[in-house]
A and B are shown apart, each in its own frame.
Chain A
Amino acid sequence: MIKFVVFICGAIVMSFEILGSRVLAPNFGSSVFVWGSLISVFLAGLSAGYYLGGRLADVNPSSRKLSLIIIAPGLLFLTFPLYSAPVSDWIFVKDIGVRMSPLIASSVLFLIPSVFLGIVSPYTTKLMICSLHTSGKTIGTLYALSTFGSIIGTLITSFYLITLAGVNALIMGQGVLLIVLAVPLYFMNLSCSIEQTGPAGVRSDNK
């Protein structure tokens, strides 16, 4: 289940980024400044999320808390059409330059969801690590799943989803997907913490 969550979150980050370029174009064009802003804001969000996620993971991590972390961007996506156009229009009217306008717009629209999606990675890693002996394998698997999800998210969105539905509908759909994932997670107990006891070198198998 957690592996699936990691995969989906990886897919949604990149899918959202592709759609983000569409969200920005009407007001900010498709210049290199727009692409530069978009990509750096997503990376800033993710790195902040990784940092925060790591710290949060050290304080009684649970799948219940993970579900709340996922619900937050889910709700932001679900309500995205309500604030995206007014925010973009407002920044367009303010006209703070060809570089700053798309940078500020990207930050307002995309930063917070990407922080939350960034938290997911270290947080789930902590939940999944059952033994220090196999922690490398666990971490590697989750990294791979997350990035593989991102590839799938990018391809599906740019190749197919954009022909099927509008940008707003797709972003709302991502919100629904996150919430649908979060609900069962809330009622599950998937944590798996390292056993403190036992002599060194003895594997603690409680997967």
Chain B
Amino acid sequence: MLHKIFLAAFCIILISSKCFAVEPSEKLIFEKNSLYQYIQVIEDTVKKERYVRNQKKEYTQGGIYVNAPDKLLFEFTQMGFISLAFLDRDPKDVLFVGLGAGAMPKYFTGRYPDTVIDIAEIDPDMLSVAQKYFYFKENERMKVHVADGRLFVKRTKKKYDWIILDAYQNDSIPFHLTTFEFLKEVKSRLKDGGVVVANITSPYRNKFFDSMVMTYKKAFPHVAIFKGKKSANFIFMATTSKNRDKDSVEVRARKIQSSRKFDIDLEDIASRYEPSEAYEWGGAKVLTDDFAPVNLYQYQKSGAQ
């Protein structure tokens, strides 16, 4: 009897340590408790990949191929670029809310060197990590502002062609970056015909996802959703002016792909275009500054099915 208990305990330890600890092939190269999070930089010596994480493997925030730091490692960073196909022009001014490892802005500025890029990141340590371990460099056209994303959006006088909202971590989503009021503020910072793209993670369909669909739908006239193939990511695309249908997005994606030499398959991503109607569920509540139980909704199953 006793040894059974020990065996069970041993199994539990094995299982739980697998969730938290580094894989055998992984090497911890940096860790820090910053003002806002636990930051861990991990290198997979077999796959030759480097990640920035908040402890748990599922919560990888970003990463690169060690031997090809200019390529996009993660699906959600690749998928985000589909939003360029919703613009009828090249973006001149771009805003990223949330830096992560800096992979997206780095990749973008490589293809659009003339575009002016602002990045709002709350955690100064995240910036140091991106610079030190992920080859991210600021320049005169690409600046990181250490500020709360919502405050940056509210304070800036500038308007943007393209705004990327990527400040959610799986385990801690700042509620004030999810609300209808926030999206209205974001919308007010868009130029005519500008687009907003957000990365929403929903491992199983949860109430948070349902509410995000309805909140975007209320803030923007047109919302399209792209589902990740390899990951639990959904890319929300919101536009203010005219809607683009799937065909025109595919055509435009093909054009950008060749003219800007994207080494990711934008056309394939474009083919996953779904109108938001596919995910809308009237029972979900719109998130507002007054009511936004984001963390709890993440753990509650969607009522849609």
Contact = CB atoms under 8 A, between A and B. Distances in A.
Contacts of B150: 25-26, 29
A162 B150 CA distance: 21
B156 to A, nearest CB: 13
Interface stretch (B48-56, B175-183, B265-273): B175-183
Nearest to A167: B290
Contacts of B181: 26
B291 A165 contact: yes
Interface residues of B, number: 24
A162 B296 contact: yes
Contact of A29 (B151, B290, B292): B151
A169 to B, nearest CB: 8
B15 interface: no
B148 A167 contact: no
A138 interface: no
A22 B175 contact: yes
B122 interface: yes
A168 interface: yes
A166 interface: yes
Given A26-B179, A30-B176, A31-B122, A92 B148 contact: no
Contacts of B154: 27, 92
B60 interface: no
A31 B148 contact: yes
Nearest to B149: A29
B174 A163 contact: no
B289 A29 contact: no
Contacts of B149: 29
Given A26-B176, A30-B174, A167 B35 contact: no
A28 interface: yes
Interface string B107-137: 0000000000000001000000000000000
Interface string A131-147: 00000000000000000
Given A30-B148, A166-B290, A25 B175 contact: yes
A167 B290 CA distance: 5
A80 to B, nearest CB: 12
Nearest to A169: B290
A95 interface: yes
Contacts of A202: none
Contacts of B297: 163
B63 to A, nearest CB: 25
A1 interface: no
A48 B265 CA distance: 63
Interface string B151-191: 10011000000000000000000111001011000000000
Interface of B: 35-36, 122, 147-151, 154-155, 174-176, 179, 181-182, 288-293, 296-297
16 contacts: A22-B292, A26-B150, A26-B289, A28-B151, A29-B147, A29-B150, A29-B151, A31-B122, A31-B148, A32-B35, A95-B155, A163-B297, A166-B290, A166-B291, A167-B291, A169-B290
Chain A to chain B: the 3 pairs with minimum beta-carbon distance, closest first: A29-B148, A166-B290, A25-B176
